[in-house]
Structure 1
Amino acid sequence: MIRRSFAAILPLCFSLSLAACQQTPQTPPPPHEITASTVSVLDGMSLKDYPGPKAQILYDQGEPDFFCDTLGMFSVYLKPEQARKVLAVYVQDMGKADWQRPAGHWIDAKTAYYVVGSKKLGAMGQTFVSFATAGDAQHFQQAEGGKLYRFDQITIDMATTDGGVVNDQNM
């Protein structure tokens, strides 16, 4: 009798232990809001002092990196020497945020739409303007020019901070 009970319980215990071993996707940490003391990791510029979309990268260790411009975020994120584990990347939805004083409206950078090469200038000049929806990105593109990209279409060659995107005659 005990042997039969044990035989009936054994598969249940095995199933429960397998379920406990499976990894569940971890919820990424939420974005940080920009304060008066938030500065760009690249040049120390205050994020509150400049127009256009901002970005942030959150890591498994240490403080997040903030960027006064999405172009700067891509230039860091896409570098092969980036060694810290990235937990989340956020950009601002410029379909909702105010261009001159963007605040809040953070979205997952990997799901955003980007208009590259528009006439509209960000904190560092040319920028990758981020949007939550394709419709908002296309509307902006029609008004300001540029070319529409998804996160995984942007390359390190496009994300140079030496004016490379400005000199691209294909946009």
Structure 2
Amino acid sequence: MKKHYRLPHFGAWLLLLCFLLGVSNSRADQQIEITKQDRCPVCGMFVYKYPKWVAQIYFKDGSAYFYDGAKDMFKHVFDTAKYTPGKTADMMTEILVTDYYEVELIDAKSAYYVIGSDVLGPMGHELLPFKDQEAAQEFLEDHKGNSIIRYQDVTPAIIESLDRRG
């Protein structure tokens, strides 16, 4: 009896090829292009001066905004209409932060954030993002951090408390 093997659909082959080649649709894997004109919509600071702290938000309409740290990025997430009138948080397609040690863009929703450390960002006390818990724990111990939190645990009250520490 002869066995018949069915070939996977073209899309499955393409997906496998992309996986093997390390291709991704995420902007986190791409080099960011910050110009001298890019300003944080929250504080107005020129972002290009602080590449180690850059955060980004992309919207469904293709617009993108840069931030001089995760703290201001979260302020935009929490009050989207204030900083980008006519837009809502559910119109955001991608939210990125810069890993403190690796200095590379990572997905903000999967990052680990250290708060309460002795390291200050461009806008004072910050949430310091890391792509894995081990790096965040090492940083917390080395820099007197208070705790490690995840994206979904960040609240407006936490952001306000960071500003009050300044």
TM-score computed with the length of structure 1 as normaliser:
0.68
Structure 2 segments unaligned to the other structure (5+ residues): 1-23, 82-86
- Does the residue aligned with 1:163 lie in a helix, a strand or coil? helix
**RMSD across aligned positions (CA):** 2.4
When residues 162 and 138 of structure 1 are mapped into structure 2, their CA distance, relative to the original with a 3 A threshold, is closer
> How far apart, CA to CA, are the structure 2 residues paired with 1:162 and 1:92?
18
Task: Give 1:109's aligned residue.
Answer: 108
Task: Give 1:129's aligned residue.
Answer: 128
* Kept in 1: contact 2:69–2:126 (CA 8 A): yes
- One-letter amino acid of the structure 2 residue matched with residue 121 of structure 1: L
Map 1:61-76 onto structure 2 (within 5 A).
61=61, 63-76=63-76
> How far apart, CA to CA, are the structure 1 residues paired with 2:111 and 2:76?
17
Give CA deviations for 1:63-85 in whole Å, capped at 9, x if unaligned: 21211111001111023756250
Determine which structure has more spread, i.e. the larger CA radius of gyration: 1
Matched, 1:41 2:38: no
* Kept in 2: contact 1:116–1:148 (CA 8 A): yes
> How far apart, CA to CA, are the structure 2 residues paired with 1:57 and 1:138?
26
- One-letter amino acid of the structure 1 residue matched with residue 108 of structure 2: A
* Kept in 2: contact 1:52–1:123 (CA 8 A): no
- Does the residue aligned with 1:65 lie in a helix, a strand or coil? strand
* Kept in 1: contact 2:53–2:69 (CA 8 A): yes
* Aligned residue-pair number: 133
* Kept in 1: contact 2:112–2:130 (CA 8 A): yes
When residues 152 and 28 of structure 1 are mapped into structure 2, their CA distance, relative to the original with a 3 A threshold, is farther
Task: Give 1:89's aligned residue.
Answer: 95
CA drift at 1:59 = 0.4
CA drift at 1:52 = 4.8
Judging by fraction of residues, say which structure has more helix.
2
> How far apart, CA to CA, are the structure 2 residues paired with 1:51 and 1:90?
13
Give CA deviations for 1:15-50 in whole Å, capped at 9, x if unaligned: xxxxxxxxxxxx865254323332211232121223
> How far apart, CA to CA, are the structure 2 residues paired with 1:48 and 1:140?
25
The share of aligned pairs that are identical, in percent, is: 28
Structure 1 segments unaligned to the other structure (5+ residues): 1-26, 98-104
TM-score computed with the length of structure 2 as normaliser:
0.70
- Does the residue aligned with 1:57 lie in a helix, a strand or coil? strand
- One-letter amino acid of the structure 1 residue matched with residue 98 of structure 2: Q
CA drift at 1:154 = 0.7
> How far apart, CA to CA, are the structure 1 residues paired with 2:61 and 2:160?
26
